[in-house]
Amino acid sequence: MSASEAAIDQAEGLRRIVNPKPVKVIAVSSGKGGVGKTNVSANLAVALAKQDQEVMLLDADMGLANVDVLLGLNPAYDLSHVINGERTLEEVIVDGPSNVKIVPGSSGISNMANLTAVEHAGLINAFSELGHVIDVLVVDTGAGISESVINFCCASQEVVVVVCDEPASITDAYAFIKVMSREHNIDRFQVLANMAHTPREGRELFLKLSKATDRFLDVMLTFMGSIPYDTQLRKAVQHQRAVVDAFPRSPSAQALKRLARQVIEWPESSTSGGQLEFFVERLINSETGSLEVVE
C-alpha cells in the first residue's frame, strides 16, 4: 500500500473521532537539543491539568523519547508497538501526574527516528481511532528539522520554540523558523525563553531572535514568556517529578502556571471545528503533501 492510499484509508477514521470539545494542539520544539524542551512540555502539560484541563502529552521525539523517564513512569508499551501493529494507541497510553494522559515514545530505537511513509500513516491512523475527550494535546517533538518534527509542527495549531541563552540555541531556532516558514508555510511562532536568569534576559533572547526574523523572514513571533533558571527544577528532574508537583511554590513552577493560564486563553481554532480530527487531517496532509480529506 502506498503512503497516499494509506492516508486515504485513514480519512475514514476521521469520522470515528468523538470529541465534543475544541482541542488546542501545541507542538513544543527547538532548533537544538539541550534547551529543556521536554521539561517544558511535561511541566506545561501537568500545569494545564492542574487548571482543570483534560490534557494529553504525546512524546513525539522519535528515537530519543524520555518523557516517561522525566516523570518517573515505566510504561510497558510505547509508540513503536503501535506502529508495529502490536498495540492500539489506547493500550499504550499511561496516566501521568494530575491525570495527564501520556503517549510514551520510543527511546534507543534508531528506526523510530526515520519512519517510512506507511509507518507515519499507521501512526496517523492510530490517532484517528483515539476516543479520549481532551482539551489540550501537547506534542513534545524532537529537536531540529527532521521529517517527523516537521509533520507534527505542521499538524499543530501553535508551535512553541524553546530557546535559552546560548548562541547556538538562537542560531538554530532561527534556522528552524526559517525552514518551517519558507518550506512549510508556518508563519506564526510562540517563543519561550527557558532557564533565564532574569526576566530581562528572557525578553532580550526574544528580541535577538525577532530582530533576525523581522529582517529576513515574513513571520510573526510572539513572546510567550520565560521560565527562570531554578535549582528546584533541577531537583525535581533528579527526583523524576514535575516541578509543579514537587516544588509548586518555586519560581519555575509559578512561571509554568502562568504559562498554562496563558495557553488556556489562546483562541480556539476554527479548523474542522477545532476538534481532534483537524490534527489527524493535517498530519495526513503534511505526510502526503496535498491530500485533501473531504466530508
- Helical (H) or strand (E) element with 224: strand 220-228
The one-digit pLDDT tens for each residue of the chain (295 residues) are 554 454 444 444 433 444 556 789 999 999 888 899 999 999 999 999 999 999 999 998 876 778 999 999 999 998 888 888 888 889 999 999 999 999 998 766 656 656 676 776 677 677 767 777 789 999 999 888 888 788 889 889 999 999 999 999 999 999 999 999 999 999 999 999 999 999 999 999 999 999 999 999 999 999 999 999 999 999 999 999 999 999 999 999 999 999 999 999 998 765 544 456 667 777 766 665 543 433 3
Asked if CATH classification 3.40.50.2300 holds for the domain at 3-288, the reply, yes or no, is: no
- Model pTM score: 0.86
- pLDDT computed for residue 112 by the predictor: 60
- Helical (H) or strand (E) element with 162: strand 158-163
Domain residue spans of the chain = 3-288
Residue 84 cell numbers, joined = 508495529
Is 223 buried (19+), middle (13-18) or exposed (0-12) by CB count in 10 A?
middle
Per-residue b or e along 181-213, where b marks 16 or more CB atoms closer than 10 Å to that residue's CB: beeeebeebbbbbbbbeeeebbeebbeebbebb
- pLDDT computed for residue 143 by the predictor: 85
CA 124 vs CA 10, 22, 128, 150, 199: distances in Å: 7, 19, 6, 14, 39
How many Å separate Cα 24 from the centre of its chain? 11
